[in-house]
Amino acid sequence: MVVFADRVDAGRHLAHAVQHLAGEDLVVLGLPRGGVPVAAEVARALDAPLDVIVVRKLGVPFQPELAMGAVGEGGVRIVDDDLVRRLGISAAEVRTVEDRERRTVEHRAALLRRGHAAVDLVRRTALVVDDGLATGSTARVACHVARQLGARRVVLAVPVGPRDARGRVPEADEVVVAATPHPFVAVGNHYRDFTATTDSEVVDLLEAARSDRAHHPLSVRSGEGPLDADAVVPVGTVRLGAHLTVPVGAQGVVAFAHGSGSGRHSRRNRFVAEALQQAGLATLLLDLLTPAEETDRRHVFDIGLLASRLRGATAWLTEQPATAALPLGYFGASTGAGAALVAAADAGERVRAVVSRGGRPDLAGDRLAEVRAPTLLIVGGRDETVLQLNRRAQTRLTCPTELVVVPRATHLFEEPGTLDEVARLAAGWFERHLPLAPDHAETGAW
């Protein structure tokens, strides 16, 4: 009979079974609590980010250990309607259990992540990991959640399970089971040490994984790339979620200052970032606010706070081998544009160019006159109030500046083709103002 020493040992065995996934744009998702120590070993072996995916079993009201389904993050649910019907469980009873477990899901996700945002799954491979597979109901909803959160491909991996485990989770594109002993009775029978994992252990594992990712993946030097990695940017006492992309031979790096409380997952800014990457520029998509801060709308208009976070990210970029030698630009949206201009004024010649999309440069106030970086203001033609604010702000800028009005566009540039025009204009501005000078390329200095 296959027996693992403990979950760490099981994770190391499982890591061998999923080696074929190495090199994919991968996120490893541990099912709390017991799946996280296993997942941590897998993430370490595959050099992939680690996160949790929180789901809860829906226990039968009069027999809680028997699952009639499960719920997870993102409002996902699976209910075994046949079982519910056979046992005579009413719809009201199902709702009562579901409401209770949904509240638990939300609470536990916040507790385990400790203020950190979930790792972005959009267009990536989600590798869902648990310490074993029994009925498969929890794994099924976890895979469903990963898909709903944007994963391109979903793989379930466990150290041990029954021989028909692969058929029990149709929601996964692939199921990997390291060992399928027969007879299979219970997951715990295949561990010498199956001591319950604590919440504090899960939090420690996640923090350790974030710390590793904040340093190791960014050791690639400029020109060696490509690099496409999640990162944690420490600024003072806070740690900000970020995503850094560096194409091979990048000619500059653009840090994004998101506005109105959005962050690195902003669909519009990611669209622009991809256009800049295609133009040979590195990009840093950054959360200027922590999840806890985002709940207070006053922070969205705290330009001093946002600018200080952007300055901290600028300092961090100069410390990373992949970006230390690259000239820097800022791309600001909405209130983030005001923060970008204040940070540019503070940075002097270190910041070579600024682009504002539907921005509020007026929020930079008297600091506008101190900006030295060439600044492009892009505003929608139907965003009349913001257009007037940009025109007034332009008169206070003493740096080279242009204001471009995109016809038919409203504030969010949701009209067909308008965001493409923003991306084209931004790429052209940065290509014009961020090329490496020969002496810069040789010395690697600012």
Contact indicator for 20, 119 with CB cutoff of 8 Å = no
β-strand partners of 127? 28, 155
pLDDT in tens, 237-277: 777 888 899 998 899 999 999 876 567 778 888 999 999 99
Q: Is the confidence at residue 224, as pLDDT, over 90? A: no
Percent of the chain residues past pLDDT 70, beyond the cut: 92
Average pLDDT over residues 184-208: 92
Fold of 7-209: Rossmann fold (3.40.50)
Backbone angles phi, psi at 282, to 5 degrees: -80, 155
| Separation of alpha carbons 122 and 270, rounded Å | 11
Q: What is the pLDDT of residue 297?
A: 76
Q: What is the pLDDT of residue 101?
A: 93
In the 3-class helix/strand/coil scheme, how is 83-117 assigned residue by residue? HHHHHCCCHHHHHHHHHHHHHHHHHHHHHHHCCCC
Average pLDDT over residues 318-343: 93
Domain boundaries, the chain: 7-209, 222-443
pLDDT in tens, 50-104: 999 998 889 999 988 788 988 888 777 888 899 999 999 999 999 999 999 999 9
* Weakest mean pLDDT among 41-45, 118-122, 283-287, 290-294: 290-294
Q: Is the confidence at residue 190, as pLDDT, over 80? A: yes
Q: Is the confidence at residue 42, as pLDDT, over 90? A: yes
Rg (CA), the chain: 25
Backbone angles phi, psi at 308, to 5 degrees: -65, -35
Q: Which two tokens stand for residue 299?
A: 């922070």
Residue of 97, 423, 376, 68 lying closest to 273 (CA atoms)? 423
Instruction: Name the most confidently modeled range: 165-174, 245-254, 389-398, 426-435.
Output: 389-398
Q: What is the pLDDT of residue 261?
A: 58
Average pLDDT over residues 180-191: 91
Fold of 222-443: Rossmann fold (3.40.50)
Q: What is the pLDDT of residue 442?
A: 39
pLDDT in tens, 393-418: 999 999 999 999 999 999 999 999 99
Residue 81: count of CB within 10 angstroms of its CB: 11
| Separation of alpha carbons 446 and 331, rounded Å | 19
How many contiguous H segments (helices) and E segments (strands) does the chain have?
13, 16
Backbone angles phi, psi at 243, to 5 degrees: -140, 120
214 — pLDDT class (breaks 50, 70, 90): low
Q: What is the pLDDT of residue 255?
A: 97
7-209 against 222-443: fold identical: yes
Average pLDDT over residues 178-205: 92
Q: What is the pLDDT of residue 213?
A: 60
> pLDDT averaged over the chain?
89
Contact indicator for 144, 171 with CB cutoff of 8 Å = yes
Strands 328-333 and 375-380, bridge-based pairing: unpaired
Cis peptide leading into residue 438 (ω within 30°): no
222 — pLDDT class (breaks 50, 70, 90): low
pLDDT in tens, 350-391: 999 999 999 999 999 999 999 999 999 999 999 999 999 999
pLDDT top residue among 217 and 313: 313
- CA angle in degrees (0–180, nearest 5) for 289-292-294: 50
Q: Is the confidence at residue 445, as pLDDT, over 50? A: no
Average pLDDT over residues 200-225: 72
Q: What is the pLDDT of residue 220?
A: 57
